[in-house]
Structure 1
């Protein structure tokens, strides 16, 4: 009897050990598989945005979608009909500001295609104050238009024009003033190697090299809106002049242009990479720590900086 109980105990210990071994080996594989699935969906979302932007250009004499100033409105709104969101687009009053009370139901609408499932806080909201001091909430996005990029410092002479350049802005590095919108034919550095939209995930929260620095979505205070800029809400003019950081994400214009800070810089929640939509509609995985000069070359559309995918793609 004792020997049978002893043998059963040994069998149980061996079975438990085997089970723990399987879990130890299999759990990391499961995590990697889950993240790979999320990264794929993230790329698919950028692909949807890309198809919508190119369809918009087809319908508007080759002009890419752009932000507006009178009244202020964002490029995301313009591509809604090309994202199977015509009904939502029809609710938006183009003659009014994006924060106008009539447009707030649209502004509060969460659109799955505009968020990356790898990013935390996917259902977050951006809390704002309108010019009259009234509070309202807007839905967020993890993707930002590539309007331009700074090289070494944030002065106008070092600002290079991007595919979603801000209308009327002078880009000193490119020696050109942006018009109402960019045409695809204006992109002469190669559309397959020129950014259209990039990941800048989990705004308005602040991230530095994988660490949450400021959890803004937990802050119930509403911040005053900026008419022509987005804190992470898709409804506003959703653009940024990209810049690099140092490796810890603290100081601007270091040599890390991917995944060191989401403060005006490319940032994704994928191991060793972030995603970007190119001007030809393709989606590229950028390697973490991408050099500042390469990022600027990928942003600028007609400055003669010809690069290849090997210069920036992550190892898959």
Structure 2
């Protein structure tokens, strides 16, 4: 399969590229991956180091809003997997412009390129945050989109644009919406790598509000398997939720990270809650289970321990990414 992967040097995109190229021997299926990334602050070529010398990888630096570049890269591809996005809620609160440009205009540019290039399938990677907040139960894919942050609103808009290209142009577009990801190579602004790297340096961890907001945790490996299942077996014009099945309050997660890093509760520093902070996310994965055969495989306790160990053993990867001063 010839596949264009956008955002390919980011946390999830790079894992997907590594999975495609490293699984070739086990599966017997050869992939030719064209990887594109703008290498903004969260894009890192070191994330692709394990497959850097693969004959199946071609990397190009560029932005998904560049129509000429996307046209050139999309031509002749069997599929596009579109990860490229601005994704940090706090940054979107401070300034939403880059989120609208990359997440909305960038998605439209990629879709146009896929349409002009005759691409067979487009997998648009989205988030459970487009649904808003849910007090109880879990969201099915048909739930109305009710985003509460500028980031989530930009992703909801990109979902609608993607699905509109299927309905208007007949482009084979599938959308996946995932819960909170964790794993190695995650930029240390998200809660797990932020807290782990702080604790490893002897610093406190900033816990929002009362710490009782709830998130469902999904290992990046399970997420990327779900994406591949949707790409290979999903239906055009459909949305698939991909969750991990482990719901924790932020306080519970923090306590697990403290224990894993050998630290005590005195290292928690409560900070003012995020503006418009969603209280709880929870996705219903029944559709992905029925249609794709998706089930999360990674045990959370083991996955978290392995993730903490990875950050402990790879300070040379994350220390250069920390703010100076």
- Which bracket does the TM-score occupy, shorter chain normalised? under 0.3
Larger Rg: 1
* Structure with the higher helix share, 1 or 2: 2
TM-score normalized with structure 2 length: 0.27
